[in-house]
Amino acid sequence: MEQITIKEVAKLCGVGVSTVSRAINNHPDINEETKQKVLETIQKYNYVPNNSARNLKRSDSNTIAVLIKGISNPFFSEIVQVFEREITKQKYSFVLQHVEEFEDEVDIAIQLEKEKRLKGIVFLGGLSYHTEKKLKQLTIPFVISTVDVTELGSEYASVTVDNTKESRKLVDYLCGCGHKRIALLAASQKDESIGKLRLTGYRQALEARGIPYDESLVMWTKENLPTYSMENGYALAKELLESGRDFTCIFAISDSVAIGACKALFDAGKRVPEDCSVAGFDGLGIAEFYQPSITTIRQPRMEMAEATIRLLFDMIEGRETAKRQVYDAELIIGQSVRTLE
Partner DNA sequence: TTGTACGCGTTATCAT
Partner DNA sequence: ATGATAACGCGTACAA
Residues that bind its own copies (CB under 8 A): 1-3, 46, 48, 50-53, 55-56, 71-72, 74, 77-78, 80-81, 84, 96, 98, 100, 110-111, 114-116, 136-137, 139, 230-231, 234, 259-260, 262-263, 266, 285-286, 288-291
CB of 78 to its own copies, least distance (A): 7
Spatial distance between the Cα atoms of 99 and 245, rounded to a whole number of angstroms: 40
Nearer to its own copies, 267 or 328 (CB): 267
- Give the one entry of DNA, its own copies, none that residue 15 binds, where binding means its C-beta sits below a cut-off of 5 to 8 angstroms depending on kind: DNA
- Give the one entry of its own copies, DNA, none that residue 46 binds, where binding means its C-beta sits below a cut-off of 5 to 8 angstroms depending on kind: its own copies
Neighbours of 51 (CB within 10 A): 10
Tell me which DSSP letter residue 150 carries: G
| Helix H or strand E segment including 279 | strand 277-279
Nearer to its own copies, 70 or 300 (CB): 70
Q: Which of the stretches 8-16, 136-144, 171-179, 209-217 binds DNA when contact is defined by CB under 7 A?
A: 8-16
Neighbouring residues of 265: CB distance < 8 A, sequence distance ≥ 6: 237, 241, 250, 271, 272, 275, 276, 278
Q: Are 94 and 82 in contact (CB under 8 A)?
A: no
In whole angstroms, how far apart are CA 285 and each of 61, 72, 137, 171, 184?
A: 36, 15, 38, 21, 22
Spatial distance between the Cα atoms of 23 and 42, rounded to a whole number of angstroms: 10
Strand partners, 144: 123, 158
Q: Which of 338, 336, 232 is nearest to 291 (CA)?
A: 336
Residue 181, interface with DNA (CB under 7 A)? no
Nearer to DNA, 47 or 290 (CB): 47
**Summary count for the chain: helices (H), strands (E):** 13, 12
Nearer to DNA, 19 or 308 (CB): 19
Neighbours of 52 (CB within 10 A): 9
| x-marked contacts with DNA along 48-87 as a string, rule CB under 7 A | xxx--xx-xxx-----------------------------
Nearer to DNA, 37 or 263 (CB): 37
CB of 335 to its own copies, least distance (A): 10
In whole angstroms, how far apart are CA 226 and each of 108, 143, 187, 282?
A: 23, 26, 10, 17
CB of 131 to its own copies, least distance (A): 14
| x-marked contacts with DNA along 20-39 as a string, rule CB under 7 A | -xx-xx-xxxxx-xxx----
CB of 51 to its own copies, least distance (A): 4
- Give the one entry of its own copies, DNA, none that residue 84 binds, where binding means its C-beta sits below a cut-off of 5 to 8 angstroms depending on kind: its own copies
Nearer to DNA, 27 or 44 (CB): 27
Q: Are 184 and 219 in contact (CB under 8 A)?
A: yes
- Give the one entry of DNA, its own copies, none that residue 154 binds, where binding means its C-beta sits below a cut-off of 5 to 8 angstroms depending on kind: none
Binding residues for DNA, per CB under 7 A?
A: 3, 5-7, 14-19, 21-22, 24-25, 27-31, 33-35, 47-50, 53-54, 56-58
